[in-house]
Amino acid sequence: MNILLHGINISTQFQTCILQLIQAFEEKGSNVKLTKNLFNSFRKKGDLSPIVTPLNSKNDLAAIDVVISIGGDGTLLDTISLIGAYEIPVLGINTGRMGFLATIAKEDIKAAVKDLLEGRYALEDRSLVRLESSVPLFKGLNFGLNEFTIHKRDTSSMITVHTYIDGDYLNSYWADGIIVSTPTGSTGYSLSCGGPLISPLAKNFVITPVSPHNLNVRPIVVSDDSEISFKIEGRSEKFLVSLDSRSAPIDASVELKIKKELFVAKLVKFHDYSFFDTLRQKLNWGYDMRN
């Protein structure tokens, strides 16, 4: 196997675990590469074996079999933006707190490596959201695993987002912003704004207003075959759009359209994984504080 490790701002206490992870892969005959920033952070300390090399260009991704994302869910989102249309399987190792996407805990790393190398896993295809805009945005990285967001900028006043589904008028949202979430992203920003939880393999988008002025305006679930377009109004005429953790300023003249991306994100899931178990654990469902 050709393995790529990716991490952002790895804490000192977790760096030892990464070195053990690299050693475990090497002992099984796997070739290990690190993304450049991660490679440089270890090379300065002289901890890496000579056969570990950096990922020099995106063209090198064609030879990678699995990417290991080391960090929280934000790191995994960054990993998906790195991979793009290559659709390389991604395994998330959690060094953060919540971990809806990066689900492998520190104490489970050895067992996860063994199962991965012996093929005891499945792949979940997670749909992505794609942005089409009348001006170039995000340097060509116009897709996201979690959500697309329109938000007010430089003002305390609300904005108005006129929203259309396949050309049919849906609503004019008078709010701080609006979120279009994938099923994967339903546990993220959309959830904190009152959006519903959706099973990861559902074929839907969720449109969730951010702090709407009218309290009877609720999130709505639509087919991910839909084409969602927007026209924005506001006092400042300056707005902010984001795809996962990437953001860019725009003005009211920019045309925005959301569709399902043509490629998917492939997440490695082991056979004892359950999305519903994760929900119960992370959200403390069924937990009685009296006990």
Closest CA to 54 of 69, 70, 43, 65: 43
Choice among 60, 73, 115, 168 that is catalytic: 73
CA 205 to mean position of chain CA atoms: 15
Q: How far is CA 87 from CA 62, 123, 125, 127, in A?
A: 10, 11, 9, 11
Burial class (CB in 10 A: 0-12, 13-18, 19+), 174: middle
73 is catalytic: yes
First to last CA, the chain: 47
Regarding beta strands 159-165 and 129-133, do their DSSP bridges make them parallel or antiparallel, or are they unpaired?
A: unpaired
Residue 60: strand pairing partners: none
Which residues are annotated as catalytic? 73
